[in-house]
């Protein structure tokens, strides 16, 4: 009994430490975003703000294009996620259910695509976008993000479709469903946790990405949120209050998305996925 109680206490302590380690930076950023300039510049070294200084947030929307950057990132993230999931679902279904020449080579190629560093592809992608007239265009950025999100999404969907018994699909085909209808009505509902995980991956990939957004977009009105926040860092001075407030507002949607999709993501952690 004592050993069980000690083990339980150790579990709770470990959970609290893990929460502090992972959530600590965000909590500090949240508290610091309400501090006054003299507190952020080191004149006052208190951990908690003396009072909630909301000017950091109001000035963030009044002095720049923060709202426009936010909308740009949201639109690009949603479009990228929808396109990537649509293609990944079809490709994953084909790889899980059909036999064709070169299937193993294709699977190996999909996995190897994840190994290429993003910085290595910046120059070739820049030349490709310039040649097709999509440089400094949001749809060009969407195209780039889709190509980088697809390997993981295709692999995830293929593995989840493998967990669905073939007999369920065969029964649907016997009842008159075609492959496409059987996919959307029979196979997709059990694979919803995989779709959720792939969608969360796409959103995070686009939301936090900086290199390509900074390289391929030159017009200020088309910039994403990560590049827009970087513009707050000046050569000689930096408004840390606005930067921290922008960081909080940028992190908040990701936190809310994970909170909403938590039950699907826990199904992935608790269940098995075939390789």
Better-predicted residue by pLDDT, 169 or 210: 210
Report which of 76, 79, 60 is spatially closest to residue 242, judged by C-alpha positions: 60
Of these ranges, 47-51, 94-98, 141-145, 254-258, the one predicted with the greatest mean pLDDT is 141-145
Q: Are 35 and 190 in contact (CB under 8 A)?
A: no
Strand partners, 233: 238
**Domains (ranges, CATH) in the chain?**
63-270 (1.10.3720.10)
Residues 207 and 73 sit within 8 Å (Cβ to Cβ) = yes
Considering only CA atoms, give the Rg of the chain: 23
Question: Phi and psi for 29 in degrees, rounded to 5?
Answer: -65, -40
Positions of E strands within the chain? none
Nearest in space to 242 (alpha carbons), one of 27, 25, 35, 23:
35
- Which residue in 220, 221, 37, 216 sits closest to 128, CA to CA? 216
Tell me if residue 238 falls in helix, strand or coil. Answer: strand
State the pLDDT at residue 3: 62
273 pLDDT more than 50: no
Q: What are phi and psi of 176, to 5 degrees?
A: 110, 0
Residues 89-101 have pLDDT tens digits of: 999 888 888 888 8
pLDDT at position 241 = 86
CB distance 75 to 229 below 8 Å? no
CA 70/CA 127 separation, integer angstroms: 27
**pLDDT band at residue 216 using 50, 70 and 90 as cut-offs:** very high
pLDDT of amino acid 131: 94
**Over the range 27-39, which residues count as b (16 or more CB within 10 Å of their CB) and which as e?**
eeebbbbbbbeeb
249: nearest Cα among 62, 24, 28, 33: 33
The Cα 175–Cα 27 span in angstroms is 55
Cβ(157)–Cβ(199) below 8 Å = no
Tens digit of each residue's pLDDT (9 = 90 or more) over 28-76: 888 888 888 877 776 566 667 778 888 888 888 887 788 999 999 999 9
Lookup: tokens for 82: 């929808």
Residue 43: per-residue pLDDT: 58
């Amino acid at each position: 009994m004592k050993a069980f109680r000690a083990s339980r206490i150790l579990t709770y302590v470990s959970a609290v430490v893990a929460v502090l380690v992972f959530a600590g930076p965000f909590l500090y950023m949240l508290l610091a975003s309400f501090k006054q300039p003299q507190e952020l510049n080191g004149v006052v070294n208190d951990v908690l703000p003396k009072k909630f200084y909301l000017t950091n947030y109001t000035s963030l929307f009044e002095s720049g294009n923060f709202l426009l950057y936010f909308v740009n990132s949201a639109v690009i993230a949603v479009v990228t996620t929808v396109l990537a999931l649509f293609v990944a679902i079809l490709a994953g279904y084909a790889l899980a259910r059909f036999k064709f020449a070169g299937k193993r080579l294709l699977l190996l190629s999909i996995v190897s695509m994840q190994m290429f560093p993003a910085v290595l592809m910046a120059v070739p992608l820049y030349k490709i976008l310039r040649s097709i007239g999509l440089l400094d265009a949001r749809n060009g950025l969407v195209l780039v993000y889709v190509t980088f999100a697809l390997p993981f999404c295709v692999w995830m969907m293929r593995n989840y479709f493998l967990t669905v018994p073939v007999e369920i699909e065969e029964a649907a085909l016997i009842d008159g469903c075609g492959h496409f209808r059987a996919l959307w009505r029979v196979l997709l509902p059990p694979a919803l946790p995989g779709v959720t995980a792939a969608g969360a991956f796409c959103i995070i990939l686009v939301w936090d990405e900086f290199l390509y957004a900074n390289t391929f977009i030159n017009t200020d009105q088309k910039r994403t949120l990560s590049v827009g926040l970087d513009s707050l860092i000046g050569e000689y001075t930096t408004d840390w209050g606005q930067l921290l407030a922008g960081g909080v507002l940028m992190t908040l949607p990701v936190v809310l998305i994970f909170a909403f999709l938590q039950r699907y993501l826990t199904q992935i952690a608790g269940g098995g996925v075939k390789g």
